[in-house]
Every structure is written in C-alpha cells, then in structure tokens.
Structure 1
Amino acid sequence: MKIPPTNTLIPFFSLLFSGPVLSALVGFGLNPYNIFCASACHWSLLSSPLSCSASIDTPVFIGWAITSNECKANDTAFLTTLAWCLHTKCNQENGYRVSELENFWETQATRDMANFKDKIRFPKPPPKWTYSEALAYVFENGPPNRTMKAGEVLNFTSIVPEKSYVAQMNTAFGVTREQVLGATYGIIILVTGFALPILCTWLYHLPFSSSFVSFLSPRITYPSSWGTYSVRPLPYLIGNAPTVGQAIYIAVFFALNIILMSINYHPFQPHLYYKSESDEIKAYIFYRTGIAAYAILPLLILFSSRNNFLLLWLTNWSHATYLLLHRWVARVFVLHALVHSFLALPLFLPQPAVVSSGYWAWGAVATVLCVVILAASVLPIRRWSYEIFLASHIVLSVIMMVGLWYHVVLWVGVDTWGYETWIYAACAVWFVDRAARAGKVLKQGVRKGRVRELGNGYVRVDVPGVRFGGDGPGLHVYCHFPMLSLWRPWENHPFSVVPTSMWVVKGEQGGKDGRTSGDSSPSASKESGKGVEVEVVDVEKQHGGLGKVSGNMGITLLIKKGSGMTTHLKATEGLWTLLDGPYRNASTTEIRRCDRLLLIGGGIGITSLLPWIASHPNVKLYWSVKESAKCLVEEVERVLVGVEKEVRIGKRLHIVDLLAQEVETGYKRIGVVVSGPGGLCDDVRAAVVAAERKGGTEFELDVDAYSW
C-alpha cells in the first residue's frame, strides 16, 4: 500500500503554503510509515521478547516486551526475521526497490516504534548488518519454515504470523490514511476561511459587476440576519446579529467543517488498537476533529488581530466584521475540541496508563480552558468589564496554547504527525500582531497629550506632533494612558482620530479664546424649537471653511468618559500618551466615489465623521445630540463652518425622511457613513436597505461603531 491519494492536492496547496510548512504536515512531506509493509513487519516483531531483552514478563505497550534498541541492533534472530519479512512482503512486485528497504532498515529497524518520541529520547544504533547482508545470511542458512508463537522468545529466524502482519498493516495504513485526510481537510478549512473574504471582495471588482453589486447590497451585504439588530445586542444580551452576508460566511464555514468531519471514513479490520469497526470509526472521528481544531487556530487568531494586514488590505471587510467572525470561528473550534474529547473518554478511559499520562492531563486542561474562554466571552461579561474580559482572555488563551503543545509533544513528540505545525503557525500570527503593535507604539514614542474638560463628562485630548492625522477618514488609534491607572498600565481603548488642523479655520486667530469670530456662513439660517436647534446651510451659497493649516500637526480625540480608564481623564497639560495605530476601520474607496456623501452621527460619534468633511466635495452632515452634549456641539461648531449640516440638540433624526429627501434630489449614488449609538446605526442600516430596494439610487454604507 502507498500513501493515500490525497497527496495529489500538494500542487494546489503549494500555491498557498510555503514548502517548509507543507513538509511539516503528515502526508505532505512528513510520514512516519512511508513503507507500510515494512512497518507492519517491524511492529509484528516488537511483542516478541529476544534473548537479549532486559525483561520478558513486563509489557509496556499492549504486551510489547522491554527490548532496548541496542539489543535489536545486534540480535541475529531479530534481524534475519525482519529481513525475511521485508523480502516476502515488500518485494519489487509490490512496488518497492531494494534501496527503499535499505533506507528503512538504516533509519527504523532499531527504532522503538511503540514510542513515537524514540527519535528524540533514545539513540538509534545502526543494525550490525545491512538489509542485504541479513537477507544473504537467511539464504545461506535456508529460508525459515517455522512461525513464531505469541510470547515465544525469538531466538531463531521465523516467519511472521499472517494474522499479526495483517493487523499491523491495517493499523499502520488506517491510522496514516486518517492522519493524511485530517491534515488535508485541515488545510481546506484554513484556506477556505482565509480565502472567502478575498473572493467575495474580488467579485465586487469584476468587469460589469455594478448591477450585480447593486442587487446584492440591499439583500446580502447590508441587511441584518435578524430584524434590524446588528450593532444593538439581541434580546437578553445573547450577542450581536451578523448581517446576511456575514451569516452566509458563518453558515458556509460551519457546513464545510461538518461535511469534512463526516465523510470518507474507512475501517480496516483486524486492527491492532480497535477490535470493532464502530470503535475504529469513532477513533478516526476522534483523530480528525482534533486535527481540525489545531488547524483552525491560525485563522482564529488572525481574525482577532489588529494588524491583519493581508486580509484588511485585500478585502473591503472591516475589522469589526473580522472580530465577529473570530467569535464564530471560536465556536467551531470549541465544537471540534468537545467532540474530540468526548470520543476519547470511551476509547481510553479503560486504559489507566493513558488516563494517568501527561498528554491526557494537558489535553483535558486545554479542553476545559477553551470552554471557559468561550463562556467568559459572552456579551454580558464583555459589557460588565471589557478590561477584565480582555486580560483573562489573553492569559487563558496562552495557557490553552501551552496545553495544546504539551498534549501532542508528550504523546507523539515533534515531527511525527505534524500537529505542532498548526501551533507554530498560530503563534507566528500572534507574535506578528504583537510585534506590529509594539513597533507602532515605539514609532510614535511617548507623547504629552493636553486634556481639556468640555463639561458633562466630555473631554478633548490633543496629541501634538503625530503625523498620521492627515491620512484620510476612517482611522482610529488605541491609546494607552499609563499614568491614569498605575495598577493596569497596559489598558488601552480605541478612539477615532481627528486631525488637529481641522480646528484651524479662517479668522480663528482673531478670537479671544481661539474660536472663529463667525462660525456660521452668511447663508446659514437657524430654526429654533423646543429642545431642538436645526442649522441648515445652503451648500450652493456656502463660503469660508477650513483655512490653511499653520503647522498645527497632531491628532485630536473627543472622548466621552466611561467606566474604565477614561474615568480618570482630567484637565492637564502633560498626560503621558502611547499610541498604537493608526488603524483603518474599513475601506473608504467606494464611499469616496459616490456623488453625494451623507454623514449621520449621534453624540460622540461625530468624532469619526469629522475627517470625512475634507475628503469629499459634496458632503452633508446630520448630527443629533442630547441636551447634555451641547458642550460638544460648541466645541465642534468651528470645524463645521461652511459645511452643509443639520445639527439637532435634544431631538432625534428622522432617518427615513432624510434619505428620501436626498433621493429626491436625483443623485445616482449616495454614500452614507454613520457613527453613534447602536440604535442609530441599526436604524440607518435598515433605512438604507429599504431605500435601495426601491431602486433608482445606489447606496454605499459604512457603519462605524465599536460594537466589540
């Protein structure tokens, strides 16, 4: 028998993985039993004690005798019996050359096949004869005509019992076949999970795809899969509903995993380990789900990474989308781990030596931790204390990875079945992300931020000298304020970035306190009513606007104090600030290509909308704030000089009406950027979907909400 035909997939996967990665996976360059008949011959002899065995009555592995490698290397009966079995079972008629048998002889004939870690823990002395010399000795003394019996001391050249050989052959081939299939399906799952976002994005850029995209957007891309819930949590805080498009990805990923875990099983009886076909199939499911869990690890960590350079660059999917998918991929990972663990119980609990082993204990630790991590990641806990969730999430994940490592290393060592390769890949993704974070912080260095109280829990933080403020809209940065909380200086939060230069407008230098003398254009009119102030600026008559920047480089953060780190923000001139960023929320290319850009904000959401003002020639801002946030309006109004806008204080926006009004103007393609409370974001999403389904106007929607 040869390696299973899944190796025909190597050319395809070699396009996606480097050679070293492939060579470290079983069936793709790594195979402990590359000659199954030779391994079966070898295994058939290991249960028989030799004349030089240290003990003939103390089995260590399914009744195998304690026989040192040195003993086998110098025992004539062992070498001649093995040589004769190789000659009769692995001859040229079966497709094996003498050179292949010689290589097996030199590398594995004296290896303890009962212990996969033999190659790193025990020496491998070469046999005293080569395969050809041992076979020549057999022919000189006459071919064997006697078959050894179970438990009999092997002190003569023997014929290997056929029943034992077949069982060993089935075991070697069956287990290896399942390991190769597991590695193959693991690669398929990993590649599919990684490639689907890229393929979906590329569909949007195919020639003549505009009508196709227009059809998909209001039906798949934008609408929620559960009513109008998306940013808002579902009832009873059971989580956030994915969009229809995200739900399709999740369904495809789940279906792929279930299908690949359910097909292509084949029992090989008699089997050395499993006495019935049902037990053998259970064992193969046990193997495959374990491999699949390991294979998902790199994707799981990649989706949670801030510095997911490749996917964020190649796709138009947002970081928030990848975080949502990270949680669903984690559920698939836990599902594989649980199936793997539950199937292991009936298979191995009857074996005290296995249950008391280190690899069993570490496997149990990893399984328990992955369930704990998933349970501790539910939305109520994240909302209760995101900082505690995040710290525990990282610590428990690291311990779980250690458990996964020892689970396989203490079982089969390294470079045997390739399980550790998946851990290497996952750790590489994690370290690249962490190194990139550290590099961004070091690049910016320690900054001295100026904090100014605006009132009612709102503050403005100016960080001078930062150069990425002019990189366009849709940026956020993770800020560390290490002096705010000395007992947890690692704590950081994401904030939208506004270039400080936007506060420099014409005539600003004439104001006493740095404000412009005229924040409204001459064409502006104000409508006042109870609890509402609406300022409507005619874009055709507007003038003024942003003046020439006079060296005010830096970024400004508008922050509403919360229950965590930001609680301690107070007016100061020298707040130590570390910046990890910038990061782009999502691609801005399609939004910028629209005929009209609508900015819809609620409260502090104005922060992420301000940079869009200078990025498009035809912008209108709709902004609603509570009465308590009037101080925020007063702070931002100087930036909005000459901008077409409606600012409502103490009153909500009528999303459906304002979209209908914009559609009536005749624009063919309207971009909508919304940032604010979850209810506002979901209302805008639903209104855009309804408006686009009516036809006539295309919409590009960007929801900028930190829902994680």
Structure 2
Amino acid sequence: MRSHITSSLRLLAVLATHVATQGQLSGYPYNPFAPYCAMACIRPLMAMMLDCSSDGQMIGSMLMTTTTECWADNTPYLSSLAWCMNIKCAPFDIPASELEHFWETQATGQQNAGAITVPPKWSYGEALALNERPMFQLTVGDMDLNRTALIPNELWIKQYNIFSTLQRESTIENTYGISMLSVGFGLPIVITILGYLPPFGKIIRKVRPYLVWPSTIGTYQVRPLPYLLGNAPTIGQTLYIVMFAILNIIFTCIGYRSGQPSAWYKNTYYEIFSYIMYRTGIFGYILAPLVFLFGGRNNVLLWATNWSHSTYLLLHRWVARVFAFQSLLHSVLAVILYKMEGRYHEDSKLPYWSWGIVATVAVVVLIVFSHLPMRNWSYEIFLIVHIVFSVIMLVGFWYHAYLLYAYLGGLTTWIHCCVGVWVFDRMMRVLRILRAGGIKRASITEMGALGEYVRIDIPGIRYGVEPGQHIYVYFPTLHPLKPWENHPFSVLQTALLDFPSASATPDRHGSQDIEVGSSSSKTDEKVYVGEEAKDSNQRRRPAPGLTLYVRKSTGATKYLSAKTNIIALVEGPYSNNNVKGVLRCDRILLIGGGIGITALLPFVNNHWNVKLAWSVRNGAACLINELEPVLNGVADKIVVVGARLQLDDLLAQEANAGWQKVGVVISGPGSLCDDARAAVIKAAKLGTTEFEMEVEAYSW
C-alpha cells in the first residue's frame, strides 16, 4: 500500500512538472536541455534498440523506436543512463536533486516536449545502488543495448555541444525577439511620457515641423501616392519604421557561435546557416502579436499614448512587412538548407513542413491583398480575406511549431498572444455596441437634388459632444448578405444642430460673416439667429442622439436611401487623436472640406476661441442649408463654395494676431488635408507662433 502511495505521489509530481514546463520560453529562465551533461547521455541511449523496442512515439519531430513503458522497465537502459549521468556530470558539480528531477521527467521520454511518460521503475539513486559501474564500452557503430554499458565519449561530446549551443541560440533568439517586441510596443509610450516632461516636451514641440509632421514624399500623406503605391509615412513615422527595420537586420545578423564537433551539423557553415534559419522563424513568431495589436481598433496603446489610430494602422502595415520578410526568409533558407543536407525530399512530406507551407502562403496572400489597390477596389473583400487568411496563418504557425518541437522553446506562447489580442479586440467591440444600447433604430434622409448626401439620425445615444471621436455603424438589414459591414463616421450630437454654440459672441471673435464664392447659388449675407429662433431653441429640448452625414460612394454607402426605423448597431466611441493639446491652445482654427465638417463641429462647443474655415463644392450646398443652425453659432467663420481656401493667408492671419499657441484641426478630402498640413508646417517653421496640429482623416 505504501509503495502504491509513493508511486502515485511521484506520478502526480511528474504530471505537475509536465504541465508547468510546457510552453515556457527558452532562457526565461527555462532550459529544456539542463543539465547538458545528463541530456548528452540520454539521447544516444534513446536511439539504441532494446529487447522491448517496437513502434515507439513521436517526441517533437523525432520518431522514437522505443515506448516510454519499455524505457521505464528496461534494466540495461536505466542502469546505463544512471552511470553515464553519474560519471559525466561529476565534473560539473550538479546537485543530486537536479539529477533526480531530470531522471523523473526525462529518463522515459521528454515531458517538456509533450511526451506522455510513465515513471521509471527506479529512482536515480536506486539505479546507481542496484547496478555496478559498467565495464563494457559501446562503440560508435553499436545499435543494440542489452547490458549496462558506457556510451562513447565522442558521441557524448557531440551531444553536449549541440544542446549547449542550441540553448544559447534559443536564448539569444528570444532575447533579441523580445527586445524588438518591447521597443516596438514601448517606444510610443516612452515618447508620449517624454512629451509631458518640460525639457523634453519643449524639444519635441520644436522639432515637430521638421522631423514629425512632414511627409517623406512631397506633401503626400492622406492622399495615396501615384499609381496607388500606398500612403507615404510622415518623417516621424518613417523614423520609427527605419529604426524597427534596422533593429531587425542587426538582431538577425549578430551573436552566432558554433559548437563543433556537433551531433547535428557536419561543419560550422551548416550549423550557422541553420541558426540563421531558426532565428528568422522565431522572429516571425515573436513579431506576430505586435502586428495584431497595431491593427486592432482596441489597441491598448491608443489609451496609453497620444499616437493616432491612423498612425498605428500605418505602422501595422510596415511592421507586418518586416514580419512577412522574416517569415519568408525563414522558409527560403529552410528549403536551401534541407536540399544541401539531402533532407528536403524526406522532410517535405512531413506534416510539420506542410503546415509551414500553409502559413507561408497565408502570409504572402495577406501581404499581396493588403495593398492599396485591393483596399480601394473592395474594402469589404479585403477585410474578409484579411481575417480568413490571418486565421489560416495562425493555424499553420501553431501546427508547424507543435509538430516540429511540441512545446519546446515556447513558440506556441506567441500564438496565444495573437489570439488573446484578437479576442480582446472583438470582445471590446461587442461591449462598445452594448454600451451604445445594442440594437438601435435609425432614420435616413436623402439630401440634395441628386440624393448624393444622406443624413442618418440615431436616437438614444448620449455621447458625441466631445471632439475627436468616431464610431462604426452597422446596418445589418441594408445588405442582408453582408450584415457585418461597418464604416467609420465622425460623431455629432443631434442637439448641436439645434442649439448655437457657446462661442457665438461676435465681439469676442470678430466677424460673423459667411463668405460665399461666386459659384454658389447662395447670395452673400450675414447669417444670424433671430429672436424668434432663439426663443424656439430655448423652449425645445431635443432628445439625445447622433447625427451622421454621409456622401454616398461605390461601397456599402451606395445602398443608403430614405428609410425610417432601420436597424443600426453603433460601435464606439473611439478617439481619432489625442486632442488635449489642441484644446489647450489660445486659439483653434478648424479647416474643413465637404463632409469633413462633421469632425470639426464638436470643437466649436469645447473651446472659447474658435475660427471655422470650410470649403464645399458646388454640389454640396445642401450641407450648408442643413448645418445652418450650428453654423449660426460660430461667430468667426469662412465658408467658401466652389473655391479653395487660402490656407497660407488663414494661418498667417492667426500668427499675426499675436496668439501664442494656435491649434489647427483639419478634416476633409485628402488633397485638402495634405495642403493644410504643408501650410501648418510652413507657418510653424517661422517660429513666431507655436502650432498644434491634428488631422481627422479616415485614410485607412
């Protein structure tokens, strides 16, 4: 009875260790090969045929010809292993407890590689006590083990070298990979914190017009580059991208060390080539969570930093390219290496290799179908392809790692991180919809002679007064075959359309004129709110809700037409940018074009000193009529129809007015956003007035 209890407790301890060690990262502080002197004993002995050997089990990518039950009960194997460990580990002063632990977890199969084992019939101490020191010496060519014997020292040295070198390389891979991950994740936080510290914040504000705001290619930023090559990053974004790419190149190229003679590699060239192949693959796994994080709507860095969602999406694409490069380089190097070693024909038929191909193909599809022409052609198809092949990629990554290494090295940890980031993002989306009240009922009103613009009213939602926010709206019944379709919209409280703003005092800002271009059908006039209208506004108490203005396009918005009581799901609100800096300025200049006015109007009621400059094309005069109540509340404004805003003059006027700090918020078509950005940069370089700038543009 006592022996049964002891055996049961030993089995429970082994199982606990088995669970605890699976999936740990090599070197942090886990070492699956420790102690090396003992592991170098076990591998040659496990490869030998015993009198009970038959069809064995897979341990990682190795097919063993002996079962765990056979090892656990075979006297020649256990006694030979015990004496090898005793002799070879003596010079290293390994504690007996560590050798005993190794014996329990590794002697009958590597539990940390996912093997299901049974305890050996003896403990390590019992195996030594019950068996005399072996006198028989095996040779390199021996394949059978039928007595207690010593393995050749040549084999032991080769095994020792490969395990110690592999552990060193695995530790370096994880160290470099985690360093890149930490820099990629932590740099936005560090820069944000430095911006709040007086000495660093002043320096950052000084260099923004030179090193942060300008585009790397002309004035292209919101506008796509010619031939739809993509969106040019700003210089600030480029510095991050270049730093991240250089860090990848450096960490891919340094820190290799050979361990010859080796049980796996016949020379240093093959060994280092293999380590480069391994490292690029590991880097692909480690960078994947950062790619998923930057691409999410609920990226925690949006809450922890003052970087915008559009910035993280741009970095998502560039980090994904670095990730794809590492993954593809790993695949190419693996094919070359395995062909050089003569293993390609055999290994390419194994499941782990097939799943690696699946993951590689998925990465290629994701990169190719994520380019701007595809997103412009059909954003919804792009999203579907993106989600489906991201799942395929993760499944391929999982099985490629598990079938090759099981849980050794902790590669599956990074897959867990990717899934965790994705699940968190989706759960937060659902919670945001529930926060808005779940299923809402919206009414759609067409505007203009051609119905090119529509107004969408969604009652019962109370947020939207704060500036710099957007929401995603789903209309499941609008296109029943694609109920998941959703689009971003600027947030505008319906009440703002009925009440004049707090900044409507003329003598504080100057003129209340709306300047109308000659091409407009409206006549030049001063716009004011009469006493009757004021009394009416005071009497009315509009119900809370959101109002969206949409210009129809070729996507899902083309299905928007006059309807009432249509089902809508509202996900949000999300912040476009951190607008605290703008709101703390002495003066805010709002520059808008067309439908972009909806992103600017919430600023009117959140600052005491606002000027609005808005340009609309001839066909958008209906927007002026629609927004007339809220425009009446803006004392200082310029509205231009059928003409461009004189951006340089606008900014020069603000600088010459003597304001110490002017915030500029820009929203509208890509050409306007880029021209306004260039004008702000030009004005900021003059140094007479400090500028804050935020661009509200959905160029994702």
- TM-score when scaled to structure 2? 0.90
Residue matched to 2:676:
684
Q: Which amino acid aligns with 1:97?
A: P
Paired position in structure 2 for 1:241? 232
Query: Alignment partner of 2:623: what SS?
Result: helix
Q: 1:267 to 1:661 in 2, by over 3 A?
A: same
Specify the SS of the correspondent of 1:478: strand
Matched residue SS, 2:150: coil
The structure-2 alpha-carbon separation of the partners of 1:94 and 1:445, relative to structure 1 and needing over 3 Å to count, comes to: same
Residue 146 of structure 1, CA deviation: 2.8
Rounded Cα–Cα distance in structure 2 between residues aligned with 1:666 and 1:21: 66
Tell me what 2:640 maps to.
Answer: 648
* Matching residue of 2:699: 707
Corresponding residue of 2:83: 84
Aligned residue type for 2:433: V
Q: Distance between the aligned counterparts of 1:41 and 1:362, measured in 2? A: 32
Contact 1:524 1:535 in 2 (8 A): no
Partner of 1:473: 467
Give the corresponding residue for 2:47.
Answer: 47
- Please name the residue that 1:363 is paired with: 356
Aligned residue number for residue 107 of structure 2: 109
Does the 8 Å CA contact 1:21/1:421 hold for their aligned counterparts? no
Q: Does 1:222 align with 2:218?
A: no
Q: CA deviation at 1:550?
A: 1.5
Is 1:384 the counterpart of 2:377? The answer is yes
Q: Distance in 2 between matches of 1:694 and 1:392?
A: 47
* Distance in 2 of aligned mates of 1:648 and 1:546: 29
Deviation at 1:84, TM superposition (A): 1.5
CA distance in 2, matches of 1:572, 1:688: 42
453, 456, 461: which is aligned to 1:458?
A: 453
Counterpart for residue 324 of structure 1 = 314
> Is residue 99 from structure 1 mapped to residue 94 from structure 2 by the alignment?
no
Contact 2:514-2:639 within 8 A present in 1 as well:
no
> Residue 175 of structure 2 is aligned with which of 179, 184, 190?
184
Q: What's the CA shift for 1:346?
A: 2.4
For 1:566, which of 554, 557, 566 is the aligned residue?
557
Amino acid of the structure 1 residue aligned with 2:518: K
Q: Structure 1 unaligned runs (5+)?
A: 1-19, 508-520
Kept after mapping to 2: 8 A contact 1:536/1:645: no
1:445 matched residue in structure 2: 438
Q: For residues 75 and 545 of structure 1, do their structure 2 counterparts lie closer, same or farther at Cα, with a shift above 3 Å needed? A: farther
The equivalent of 1:256 in structure 2 is 247
Change (3 A) 1:80 1:69: same
Cα pair 1:222 1:243 within 8 Å, conserved: yes
Superposed displacement of residue 190, structure 1:
1.1
- Of residues 447-456 and 36-45 in structure 1, the stretch that sits farther from structure 2 once superposed is 447-456
CA 1:112 to 1:696, structure 2 compared with 1: closer, same or farther past 3 Å? closer
Residues 545, 79 of structure 1: alpha-carbon distance in 2 compared, 3 angstrom cutoff: farther
CA-to-aligned-CA distance 1:521-548 (integer Å, 9 cap, x gap): 9964465653157979799xx9979955
1:526 and 1:263 map into 2 onto residues whose CA distance is: 64
Match of 1:279 in 2: 270
Which among 518, 521, 546 is matched to residue 530 of structure 1?
Answer: 518
TM-score, normalised to structure 1, is 0.89
**209-218 or 320-329, which moves further after superposition?**
209-218
CA distance in 2, matches of 1:401, 1:330: 14
* Mapped contact 2:474–2:485 kept (Cα < 8 A): yes
Task: Give how far 1:71 is off.
Answer: 2.2
CA-to-partner distance for each residue in 1:492-532, whole Å, 9 max, x for gaps? 0000011100111379xxxxxxxxxxxxx996446565315
Report the secondary structure of 2:177's partner residue.
Answer: helix
Query: What's the CA shift for 1:407?
Result: 0.9
Deviation larger for 238-247 or 124-133: 124-133
Is 2:34 the partner of 1:37? Answer: no
Task: Flag as ranges the 4+ runs of structure 1 deviating above 3 A.
Answer: 20-23, 58-65, 208-211, 521-529, 532-539, 542-549
1:172-227 C-alpha deviation (Å, 9 max, x unpaired): 11222211211222211111110011111111111234531332111122111111
Specify the alignment match of 2:666 in structure 1: 674
SS in 2 for 1:570: coil
State how far apart, in whole Å, the 2-side matches of 1:588 and 1:31 are.
48
Note the C-alpha offset of 1:76. Answer: 2.0
1:653-681 deviation per Cα after TM superposition (whole angstroms, max 9, x unaligned): 11111111111111111100000011110
Deviation at residue 69 of structure 1 after TM alignment: 2.2
Q: Quickly say closer, same or farther: Cα 1:369–1:525, change in 2 above 3 A.
A: closer
Counterpart check, 1:595 vs 2:600: no
1:504 aligns with 2:494: no
Give yes or no for contact 1:48–1:65 (8 Å, CA) kept in 2: no
SS at match of 2:253: coil
Q: Which amino acid aligns with 1:384?
A: W
Task: Identify which range, 130-139 or 560-569, moves more after superposition.
Answer: 130-139
Deviations 1:577-627 (A, max 9, x none): 110111110111000011110000011111101111111111010000100
Counterpart Cα distance in 2 of 1:474 and 1:63: 57
Q: How many residues align?
A: 662
Among 606, 620, 626, the alignment partner of 2:611 is: 620
Write the mapping of 1:657-668 to structure 2, written as runs, cut at 5 A: 657-668=649-660
Alpha-carbon contact 1:527-1:534 (below 8 Å) kept? no
Identity of aligned residues (%): 46
User: How far off is 1:152 after superposition?
Assistant: 4.2
Give 3-state SS (helix, strand or coil) of 2:250's partner.
helix
* Structure 2 CA distance for partners of 1:184 and 1:232, relative to 1, 3 Å: same
Q: C-alpha deviations, 1:5-47, integer Å up to 9, x for none?
A: xxxxxxxxxxxxxxx9998322214332121110000112123
Distance, in Å, in 1 between the alignment partners of 2:201 and 2:331 is 48
8 Å CA contact 1:523, 1:537 repeated in 2: no
Aligned-partner Cα distance in 2 for 1:369–1:206: 44
Q: 2:686 aligns with which of 674, 682, 694?
A: 694
Q: 1:525 to 1:378 in 2, by over 3 A?
A: closer
Q: Give the secondary-structure state (helix, strand or coil) at the position aligned to 1:417.
A: helix
Deviations 1:122-155 (Å, cap 9, x if unpaired)? xx2222222222222344xx54253344234222
